[in-house]
Amino acid sequence: MQTTKTESRLIIQRIKEQRLLQNFTQEYMAFELGITQGGYCAIESGRTSLSINQLLDIAKVLQAPLIRLLEGKDCIDGAKVDFNKTVERLNQQVEKMIQQNQEILNLLKEK
């Protein structure tokens, strides 16, 4: 599904608002994204189309949930979405599983 020009403008506006809230410059954003400042300016001005990969990268740099940039909210159907906390919880579970596997390997080595 393609976004309309109006939807695209709203997404770009939210990106800019989020960038300004973080006190990030266009130069900083460009550096973090690995593009020129002119390239980033073209994105924010709407002169360049924004790819989904660029949008994901921008959300990561801004540490903003993607839904906030897409729809201007932090929830989906009333459910609070906190991707950073979800990733943190998943990382903790993986670490716990690694530790448990190491303990099992140590027990097996003892036999």
Hey, where are the domains in the chain?
A: 1-74, 81-111
Separation between Cα atoms, residue 11 and residue 47, nearest integer Å: 14
* CB-CB contact of 50 with 8 (8 Å): yes
Separation between Cα atoms, residue 77 and residue 51, nearest integer Å: 25
Choose the CATH number for 1-74 among 3.40.50.720, 2.60.40.1180, 1.25.40.10, 1.10.260.40: 1.10.260.40
The reported pTM is 0.63
**What is the per-residue pLDDT across 30-70, written as a single tens digit (0 to 9) for each?**
999 999 999 999 999 999 888 889 999 999 999 988 888 88
**Residue 15, token pair as written in the block:** 């990106």
* Side chain identity, residue 20: L
| Helix spans in the chain (H) | 5-21, 26-33, 37-45, 52-62, 66-71, 83-110
**What is the per-residue pLDDT across 68-78, written as a single tens digit (0 to 9) for each?**
888 877 655 55
